Amino acid sequence: MSEKALSRFTQPISVPGRRLLHHVPLHFVLKKVTGGGQRAANHEIPLIPFIDFLLCIVLFLLASFSATGELPVDKNVQLPKAENVLDMTEAPMIAITGTQIMVDGVPAGNTRAIEEANRLQRIDELFNILKNKRELWKQINPGKEFPGVAVLQVDKKVPALVVKSVFQTAAFAGYPNISFMVGRLGGEGGG
């Protein structure tokens, strides 16, 4: 639109252009604001690339989102790694840390007696806790078949005798389907 055309009518809408600080009588400020200086004082924040970047982060985090949450692993426990594995499941967690046996963070016995006796034996405290958990599950889910799944979190250096004792105790308490918690060695698979 030309200057002549604008002058003929009263225009409520003015011609777009730089407006900020135009009435300031300082010449050098006006020069800067209008872009006449070396660098303009007004800047546009590039919002579109910023939104694209945020969307990429959101998509990545959504793709790696796990609804089951992080499983608590004791810092002293070094888990073995395996290749042909399954995703984790929700089940009672039996952890063997040092000489302590824990079920979902609650102390459930000691391995010292097994190691000293050097023979397979039932761990009564663990048995009672697991049995109570099974009965509670049955009360909460009447009519449903009990899955009998428990997850064993065992340090890689623990002798098989201790693992067998815990395994057998869990089986006697109604948890014959045991999963060993391991680290992922790479590749896919279903074990």
Partner 1 sequence: MAGIDTGGGHGKGRATNHEIPLIPFIDFLLCLVAFLLVTAVWSQMARINADARVPGPPKPDEEIEKQQKEKQLHVEMRGERKFQLVWKEGSTVVNTIDVERKPVKVGEDTQFPDLAKKIVDEWTANGSHRAPTDTKIDQAVLHCDNSTQFQDVIAVIDAIYKPQRDYTFAGAVKKIPAFNVTFAVN
Binding site for partner 1 (CB under 8 A): 47-48, 50-51, 54-55, 57-58, 61-62, 64-66, 69-71, 73, 78-89, 118, 120, 151, 154-161, 163-165, 167-168, 170-172, 176-185, 189-191
Shortest Å, Cβ 181 to partner 1: 6
The DSSP symbol for 152 reads: E
CA torsion angle for 22, 25, 28, 32 (degrees, to 10)? -10
Residues, the chain: 191
Task: Give the chain's largest Cα–Cα span.
Answer: 108
Our CB check for partner 1 shows the closer of 26 and 185 to be 185
Shortest Å, Cβ 22 to partner 1: 22
β-pairing, 149-154 vs 81-82, is unpaired
Our CB check for partner 1 shows the closer of 2 and 118 to be 118
Our CB check for partner 1 shows the closer of 87 and 116 to be 87
Q: Alpha-carbon Rg of the chain, whole angstroms?
A: 34
Shortest Å, Cβ 178 to partner 1: 6
Shortest Å, Cβ 9 to partner 1: 14
Single-letter residue type at 183: G
Phi, psi of 107 (to 5 degrees): -55, 135
Shortest Å, Cβ 49 to partner 1: 12
DSSP 3-state assignment of 189?
coil
Shortest Å, Cβ 64 to partner 1: 6
User: In sequence order, what are the beta bridge partners of 149?
Assistant: 177
Q: Which are the contacts of 15, defined by CB distance < 8 A and separation ≥ 6?
A: 1, 6
DSSP 3-state assignment of 109?
strand
DSSP 3-state assignment of 55?
helix
